Structure 1
Amino acid sequence: MKMKNEKMYTFFQGLFKVLGIVVICCSIVLAIWLYKLGIFNDKNVLKDVIHHYKYWGPFIFIVIQIFQIVFPVIPGGITTVFGFLIFGPVNGFIYNYIGILIGSYLLFILVRIYGKRFILLFIDEKTFNRYERKLETPGYEKLFIFSMASPISPADIMVMITGLTNMSVKRFMTIMILTKPFSIIGYSYLFIFGEDILRYFHK
């Protein structure tokens, strides 16, 4: 029975890795398709998309955002940026924020329940050991807070690793609520306006 469970676990490890590659490829195709639609530079296209999915659009987006955190095979930054592009700055932020908070909570709880084995479904042992060593440092909580506020940190991995600590759920969610607005806005700003920023510094 134990051997059967190990085979199943190994199967899911491989499956999630393959899914990660497939989803990245699909994300690239989706980005190209959206570009051809003109969604990146034509506000009328954005309005048409929002109008077409007026009621279901926000719900579907939030579910996708939750899914990409709980099962981190979708690059989170891509969904975050799409939220801003499709729903606009205010609604895009709100839907991103809701999805990320719910997804992060579920991911934290899943690691609390299943421990290291759950984490190893998504990252290899070497990567896990590298992050696990950070738990032994006295300033780990400060590092975690910084990672959650930063738009370029491996947030999902840090959430999973933190699930192995004795941090309370209340403390974890307080940190998430206070820091996530910075990373959501920061990442989207860098992605959407990055070209303009680079052009400014190369004048």
Structure 2
Amino acid sequence: MSSVTSRRLINLMTVVTLGATVALTIYWFNLGLFDDIPTLQNYLNHSGLLGPLIFILIQIIQVVIPVIPGGISTAAGVILFGPWWGFVYNDIGITIGSLINFWLARRYGKPFILHIISEKTYDRYIGYTTNQRKFDWLFGLAIVLPVAPDDILCLLAGLTKMTWRRFFWIIVLGKPITIAAYSLILVTGAHWLGL
């Protein structure tokens, strides 16, 4: 895939994602679902698998193409589906998105990554990949820490010699810790604010 083609594909996916998000928001607004959170939660709970699937898809897309800040969509999962199911749906979507990022970076390399992040950001983090053993440990630690730039690191990991198996297990075992920490902070904060 050429640099121009990958850029066009990313632009198209961004426009489609934003368009679908806007259309869904307008549709839900017209249904009166934004009048209060319990109404929206009730709607999603009675939508069967459609509500969770849409949310998981949004999470996957926001990891691969950072249209929506990850913290906002993670918070939305907890608010809309509750702490347990919000955690589960967040974890599924973010894990799948992270695996896709790793695959895309491995398949299309640096030119693809520079369509997602700036060259300045790339230059800031690429130096960590020079020592594979050290990078693997730093990557595992960063995935567990809630303040690390996970999506960028998943892309950069795709450029290294990290195995699929190691990447998979770091994400599967580490991501839930971060997502659980976010969920706990959100639930505690909401409870403290009386929401």
Greater mean alpha carbon deviation, residues 161-170 or residues 183-192: 183-192
Give the direction of change, closer, same or farther, for the CA distance of 1:187–1:8 in structure 2 (3 Å limit).
same
Q: State the Cα deviation string for residues 158-183 of structure 1 (Å, max 9, x = none).
A: 10011111000011001111111111
By how many angstroms is 1:10 displaced? Answer: 6.3
Which of 53, 61, 64 is equivalent to 1:70?
Answer: 64
TM-score, normalised to structure 1's length?
0.75
* Other-structure match for 1:89: 83
Equivalent pair of 2:83/2:183 in contact (CA under 8 Å): no
Give the direction of change, closer, same or farther, for the CA distance of 1:192–1:125 in structure 2 (3 Å limit).
same
* Other-structure match for 1:109: 103
Following the alignment from structure 2 to structure 1, what is the Cα–Cα distance between the partners of residues 73 and 158? 23
* Other-structure match for 2:161: 166
SS in 1 for 2:67: coil
TM-score, normalised to structure 2's length?
0.77
Q: Supply the RMSD in Å over aligned alpha carbons.
A: 3.0
Which of 169, 178, 187 is equivalent to 2:182?
Answer: 187
Give the direction of change, closer, same or farther, for the CA distance of 1:98–1:12 in structure 2 (3 Å limit).
closer
SS in 1 for 2:111: helix
Q: State the Cα deviation string for residues 91-119 of structure 1 (Å, max 9, x = none).
A: 11111111111111111011000000111
Aligned residue pairs total 180
For structure 1, the residue ranges without an aligned partner over 5 or more in a row are 199-203
SS in 2 for 1:88: helix
Letter of the 1:56 partner, please give it.
L
For structure 2, the residue ranges without an aligned partner over 5 or more in a row are none
Q: State the Cα deviation string for residues 14-50 of structure 1 (Å, max 9, x = none).
A: x48x96xx79xx7xx99xx8996332xxxx4354233
Structure 1 segments, 4+ long, off by >2 Å, are 5-13, 33-38, 44-47, 49-55, 136-139, 188-198
Following the alignment from structure 2 to structure 1, what is the Cα–Cα distance between the partners of residues 88 and 79? 13
Which of 126, 131, 154 is equivalent to 1:132?
Answer: 126
Identical aligned residues as a percent: 39
Q: State the Cα deviation string for residues 55-105 of structure 1 (Å, max 9, x = none).
A: 200111111111111222221121111111111122111111111111111
Equivalent pair of 1:12/1:121 in contact (CA under 8 Å): no
Following the alignment from structure 1 to structure 2, what is the Cα–Cα distance between the partners of residues 65 and 90? 16
By how many angstroms is 1:11 displaced? Answer: 6.2
Letter of the 2:122 partner, please give it.
F
